[in-house]
Every structure is written in C-alpha cells, then in structure tokens.
Amino acid sequence: MSVRKLKPITPGQRFRVVNGFDAITTDKPEKSLLAPLKKSGGRNSQGKMTMRYKGGGHKRRYRVIDFKRDKQGVAGTVESIQYDPNRSAFIALVKYTDNEKRYIIAQNGLTVGQEVMSGDNVAPEIGNAMPLANIPLGTVISCIELRPGQGAVMARSAGTFAQLMAKDGKFVTIKLPSGETRLVLANCVATIGAVSNSDHQLLVSGKAGRSRWLGRRPRTRPVVMNPVDHPMGGGEGRASGGHPRSRKGIPAKGYRTRSKTKDSNRYIIERRKK
C-alpha cells in the first residue's frame, strides 16, 4: 500500500494525493460477476428530488461480492486483486477448484496465488472465513456477520478491522472499529485479517470536480439559508446560526439519537467513543 503526491503542474494537482495502486494486479473486471447499476440522481418514482446533493457521477457497473462466504470446504485461489468503484476496499477474484469464480473483499496481505477457504475447520489465516467460535482470541478480523447466514455487515470498508476479545457460551465479544464493544453470536462468520487499502484515509481529492465524478453535488451550508429553509438560517450579516441542528431541528454534535428501547442495546457492552 502506498500513496503518491503529484507535482503541482495544475491547480487541481497541487494538493492531490492519489493511491499508488501497487496492490492492484489487473484493470479488467470479471465479466460474469458484473451487474448494471442504475442511478436515481436523488429522485423518486415521480421524478421529484427527495435526496439533496446527489447526481451525476461516472457510470459504474456493480461487482457482485460474496459476503456470505458460504462455499464451505472448497479451496479457492486468488487470481487477481482489483479496484472496485463501488467501495473503498480492494476486491479479490477467487477461482475455486470446481472452476466457479467469486469476488471477495480483499484483506491486507492477500496476494495472487494464495489459497483461501471458508468452513468450520479451516486454519485462521488471512483471507479465510470461519465461525467466530473457532477463531483464536485476540485475532484481527473483518467482514463480520451480525446474524448467521446474513452475510458480512461490519468492518467492510478500507483499512477497518475488529478484534475478538472473549468467548462466553453462544456469544463472543468483539471490539469494533468505532470503539464499541458488543456481543455477537458465536456461529456468525468472520474473515481473518484487516481490510485492504488502509491508505484510503490519506487520499486528498485536490479539486471539487472529483466530488462531481463521484456523484456528489455541491452542498449548501445551513448558515447561509433563510429561516424558512433551516433552523440555522437567517440573521443580519454573517450570523453564526445558533446551536448546530438538522433541518428538522434535531441537535447535532453530541445529542444521542439512538433509541433507548432498541432491542440490540442489550448486546452492546460499551458504547462507541464520542
């Protein structure tokens, strides 16, 4: 993993920091695992804008990712590490011994030619997927299920990882990237290793146009709106806007919005850091 700082030959390149892509081995995706991706531009079925600041962006095709890792006991070989425009992490193309190909989220250190497998009795090595009950304590894990058979939902973005802290009956305790410590069912599947592309957080876009290529339109600051449009709008001159809050009046910056009666609260041992 590496990043490159470009020479400032144009204003857009002056502060630009780009990914070195030294982990990427091919720029040709597997055609059988591509699906169309339709853009809504933030509009609903009537064509009315229901979500602001969306629209445009480069055309993409979705890469079908195997989040369930349910091909158990069959060895697969990593054929290539690829870029995925739909996520911050890199993805790996795996070819199994029965000639089926699947995309998985690539872990840090996963290389071409490496063998990966999922199942109950596989070795706890990078890229292998197994139930949390079979993973040794203290192991760095990612792509974690919350419900058995659901598929990975936690620790999937670039550079993220969780740690297996303890085992107790049918539950295990894991420390999540947010700092939260929670219980997860021991028969949920997780992948060994941290997610690839950990340098993603160091990238600098360099110009506003790159946000437009990603499908993000310019965002209007609430402070410059009128009182009819936002609680923080209005005032004479450059008014500060009062207490930070959302368009619907819900306070931001410190106000907890999580429901006190939420069912999953009982699985959270320690809340995430503020």
Tokens of 61: 């095709």
pTM above 0.85, yes or no: yes
Residue 220 has a pLDDT of: 96
Residues 83-142 have pLDDT tens digits of 999 999 999 999 999 999 999 999 999 999 999 999 999 999 999 999 999 999 999 999
Residues 29-47 have pLDDT tens digits of 999 999 999 999 999 999 9
How is 36-91 classified by DSSP, letter by letter?
Answer: E----TTB-TTS-B-STTB------EEE-B--S---BT--EEEEEEE--TTSSS-E
In the chain, the domains with their CATH numbers are: 3-201 (2.40.50.140), 223-265 (4.10.950.10)
Q: Which residues contact 37 (CB under 8 A, 6 or more apart)?
A: 60, 61, 62, 86
Q: What percent of the chain has pLDDT over 90?
A: 95
Confidence of residue 1 (pLDDT cuts 50, 70, 90): low
Residues 126-164 have pLDDT tens digits of 999 999 999 999 999 999 999 999 999 999 999 999 999
Pseudo-torsion of CA 111, 129, 70, 33, nearest 10°? -30
Residue 74 has a pLDDT of: 96
Residue type, 20: G
Q: What distance lies between CA 194 and its chain's CA centroid? A: 12
3-class state of residue 190 by DSSP: strand
Q: Cα dihedral sign for 12, 18, 20, 23?
A: negative
Count Cβ atoms below 10 Å from residue 97 Cβ, excluding itself. Answer: 11
The helix, strand and coil proportions of the chain, stated in percent and rounded to the nearest 5, come to: 10, 30, 60
Q: Strands 34-36, 61-63: parallel, antiparallel or unpaired by DSSP?
A: antiparallel
Comparing CA positions, the residue from 108, 107, 127 lying closest to residue 117 is 127
Longest CA pairwise span in the chain (Å): 71
Residues 200-255 have pLDDT tens digits of 999 999 999 999 999 999 999 999 999 999 999 999 999 988 899 999 999 999 89
3-class state of residue 201 by DSSP: helix
Residue 145 has a pLDDT of: 97
Q: Cα dihedral sign for 184, 264, 246, 215?
A: positive
